[in-house]
Structure 1
Amino acid sequence: MPIDDLFGVHGKALAVRSQRMGMLASNIANASTPGYKAKDIDFAAALRSAEAGPLDRGIADATKYRVPLQMSMDGNTVELATEQTAFAENAVAYQTTLSFLNGRIGQITRALKGE
């Protein structure tokens, strides 16, 4: 049985959320780097694309530069409040997906043990 049949879309969702968390963390870390261009992953688009093909390709296709509300003088497009909010929301969604997968693994383990 393929692993996707056991976990459905949640395995890919966790991978996309993980990649997005790294990207948002990079944006936050580079908030004061002149010329740095903030990027983000459109989660829904990445998941749709990953369903049709390889996950890495789906993430690459869904990665876009963020358009700032107010441009800085040094060309940096990171808006710290926006990035921190997106990071927090993504962290909650990541934890939720992880909890679901842990529950599913527990069900499979109990079934294999005959409980």
Structure 2
Amino acid sequence: MTINDPVFGVHPAAMQLQRRRMELIAANIANADTPGFQARDLDFRQVLASTQAAGTAAVDPAYRVAVQPAADGNTVDVQIEQAQFADAALRYQASLQFLDARIKGLLTAFTGQ
């Protein structure tokens, strides 16, 4: 699906990116006690810009800058990760609700009910 979809807009691509972001954040949380693990995340604006330019999403996770790096080299801050996961889930849900309303509107237009 391209970024310029006239029916659904940016929401299908946004949902794919937020899903990928939630996967990365979940992996960060799961590895919170792994020595040397580097937390990763997606820069949504960067991915959106590359998607608009190329027409397809190029998802390249970047390492998150540690606020308080641990002595063992782990850069995961569980509280930050949980907040970022909640943010990604909220954005995913917003796109899902938009698409749901759009599909219901299209069905109403097709069936006349």
TM-score by length of 1: 0.88
Gap runs ≥5 in structure 1: none
User: Cα RMSD over matched residues?
Assistant: 1.5
Q: Which structure 2 residues correspond to residues 1-115 of structure 1 after superposition, within 5 A? A: 4-53=5-54, 54-55=56-57, 57=58, 59-60=59-60, 63-115=61-113
Give 1:80 shift.
0.6
Contact 1:4 1:11 in 2 (8 A): no
CA distance in 1 between counterparts of 2:108 and 2:20 reads 31
| SS of the residue 1:69 aligns to | coil
Q: Structure 2: which amino acid aligns with 1:37?
A: Q
Runs (4 or more) in structure 1 with deviation over 3 Å come to none
Gap runs ≥5 in structure 2: none
Give 1:114 shift.
2.7
| SS of the residue 1:4 aligns to | coil
CA distance in 2 between counterparts of 1:74 and 1:102 reads 45
TM-score by length of 2: 0.90
Give the paired residue count: 110
Identity of aligned residues (%): 43
The structure with the greater share of residues assigned to helix is: 1
Q: Structure 1: which amino acid aligns with 2:105?
A: Q
Contact 1:38 1:65 in 2 (8 A): yes
Please list the CA deviations of residues 51-79 of structure 1 after superposition, one character each: whole Å capped at 9, or x if unmatched.
Answer: 22221x1x22xx21001011111111101
CA distance in 2 between counterparts of 1:19 and 1:77 reads 20
Contact 1:10 1:101 in 2 (8 A): yes
CA distance in 2 between counterparts of 1:51 and 1:107 reads 26
Contact 1:27 1:78 in 2 (8 A): yes
CA distance in 1 between counterparts of 2:88 and 2:100 reads 18
